Amino acid sequence: MPERDVVSWNTMIQAYASDRDIGKATEIFLAMPDPDIVSWTCMVGVYAQNGDLEHAKVLFHQMPQRNVVSYNALLPAFSQSFQVYEAKRMFDSMPEHSAFSWNALMLICARHGLLGEVVRMFDEIPEAGIVTWNIFLQAYIRKGLIREAKAVFYRMRLCNAVSCTAMILACGLNGEMEEATKVFQGMVERDVVAWNTMIQGFLENHLWTEAKALFDEMPHKDVTSWTSMVSAFGRQGMVEEARKMFEAMPKYDVVSWNAMIQAYVDAGRLEEARAIMDRSMPATNEDEISWNTMLAGYGVHHGKLLEAQEIFYTMPARSIVSWNSLLGSVTGNGNLEAAARFFKRFPEKNVVSYNTMIAGNAQAGELSSCFDLVASMAIEGLTPDEQSFSSVLAASSHGGKLEQGLRHFVLMSGDFGITALREHYDSVTDILGRAGNLELAREVVQAMPFLPDLLAWGSLLGGYQMQSGQGLTQRAARSVFELGLGRANNHTKW
């Protein structure tokens, strides 16, 4: 161009911004003789949309002047960086708010579960449009408050495809597919997302026939529609139907390839799963899910350790999921020495890594290793969870380790704030029963926040039998029966 004005420069920046080419957009911006507020705002938006919040903020604060559009360019980026309260401070510092500003902050709060803030802003917004109502509706759905979401939906004077699809999703989550169907049938225009949400609702509620019938009715199917059906057939063990559906797809993506691989893995048809994966290359070569599906299929699910190791060492990249999967295969094979050596090689460990080792040692009766592993977790800054203590308490029960078992039961709630589950109470009852401490075992059964199951009663009865001898079995059973009646009456609502 013989002569460039500021509009020409801005057009070039916006073109590169649309392609998310930060380098070229920055190059044009820096070459501008006199960037205006549109130029600055566009560059803030380029960095914000590409997730580079820090550079976006630096540019924003360097702007010689700002308007509401400048603020709006930066505001949505805070959601990606989990900086909710900084977003709130920016919103409060704005000289004025547009509908976009209100909606952007409401959406940030909704995505981070701050329902109270969403409700407050909804009540304060000068004028709530359809976008605002949709954010409000989705905030309740995200929190699982389906009844409240339905109340919001039926208050709306105007609904669009987004509103109706959100309501279909809510009904599906709540198992109310009849109501979801009414909403779907009442839609003026149904886009492919609405169709897919209905199909997924049927599938999640095990209404396979209805899902297939709706799929067949779809005027336009996308790759998500096809993949949902492939996955559904796979979960039902109908692998041939899944394969036919898969082969009929007009095109594939990584998710659809993985769905077919998973279907074969679940059916134990590992060679066919491997053939599908080989066929999917290079589309899935760098996809972690594809490799981990095959790894778990050979190792954890079907005990083929050598094949699992081959896949593990062939993987182009390994995540913590990959390491944990192979560790589970090794411990499942009973070779704890090899598992311990492999565990030491982990580039990083998480709670699942430790739980896999604890469970393997618990199953083999290696109690001291279980206790050491729980202690090591705390040293590494990891917090044991319910599964960690389930394994430790079960091992203590089978090994007759009264003191260590009770100590870990107390540690669980006292030090780690974990609420005891039924299986934890069952293990403690069994530990006490085996040790002959029947009074304390009775107290544990009576203190359970739920009715004891057969395992708890069996542990208590077994303890009475061991202490009383064969001649007093009936008296022991009567004592347990009377305790059970008392617990049942305490839970009865008249």
Structural domain boundaries in the chain: 351-411, 421-489
From 52, 50, 42, select the one nearest 72 (Cα to Cα): 42
Q: With 0-12 CB in 10 A as exposed, 13-18 as middle and 19+ as buried, what is 241?
A: middle
Given this model, what pLDDT does residue 478 score? 56
The dihedral region occupied by 417, where left means phi > 0, alpha psi between -120 and 50, and beta the remainder, is: left
CA-wise closest residue to 419 among 378, 454, 459, 448? 448
Contact between residue 29 and residue 59 where contact means Cβ atoms under 8 Å apart: no
Model pLDDT, residue 442: 76
Q: Give the 3-state secondary structure of 9-55.
A: HHHHHHHHHHCCCHHHHHHHHHHCCCCCHHHHHHHHHHHHHCCCHHH
Distance between first and last Cα of the chain: 87
CA distance 26 to 473: 85
Task: Give me the pLDDT at residue 494, please.
Answer: 23
Q: How far is CA 367 from CA 349, 376, 413, 422, in A?
A: 21, 14, 21, 21
Cα four-point dihedral sign 238, 243, 246, 252? positive
Q: Rounded CA gap, 361 and 373, in Å?
A: 10
Instruction: Give just the sign of the alpha carbon dihedral 143, 146, 148, 152.
Output: positive
Identify the three-state secondary structure at position 266. helix
pLDDT of the chain, 494 residues: tens digit per residue? 445 677 878 788 788 777 777 788 888 778 887 888 888 888 888 888 777 778 888 888 888 888 888 888 888 877 665 678 888 888 888 888 899 999 999 999 998 889 999 999 999 999 999 999 999 999 999 999 999 999 999 999 889 999 999 999 999 999 999 999 999 999 988 999 999 999 999 999 999 999 999 999 999 999 999 999 999 999 999 999 999 999 999 999 999 999 999 999 999 999 999 999 888 877 767 788 899 999 999 988 888 999 999 999 999 989 999 999 999 999 998 899 999 999 999 999 999 999 999 999 999 989 899 999 999 998 999 999 999 999 999 998 888 788 888 899 888 888 888 988 888 988 888 888 777 777 787 777 777 777 666 676 666 666 666 666 544 455 445 555 555 544 444 433 32
Q: Read off the tokens for 243.
A: 């394969």
The pLDDT of residue 198 is 97
CA angle 30, 36, 41 (to 5 degrees): 80
Tell me the two tokens of residue 176. 């109310």
pLDDT score at 63: 84
Residue 82 pLDDT: 63
Read off the tokens for 449. 């926040």
pLDDT at position 133 is 97
Q: Which two tokens stand for residue 111?
A: 């995505």
**What pLDDT, on a 0 to 100 scale, did the predictor assign at position 482?**
56
Listed residue (343, 274, 346, 354) closest to 314, CA to CA:
274
Report the C-alpha gap between 296 and 292 in whole angstroms. Answer: 6
Give, in order, the Cα–Cα distances in Å from 359 to each of 325, 353, 366: 14, 10, 10
CA distances from 229 to 171, 199, 265, 266 (A): 20, 9, 17, 16
The whole-angstrom separation of Cα 228 and Cα 218 is 13
316 burial via Cβ count (<10 Å: 0-12, 13-18, 19+)? exposed
Largest distance between two CA atoms of the chain: 110
Look at residue 333 and give its three-state secondary structure: coil
Number of H helices, E strands in the chain: 31, 0
Cβ distance 262 to 254 under 8 Å?
no
Residue 465 is predicted with a pLDDT of 62
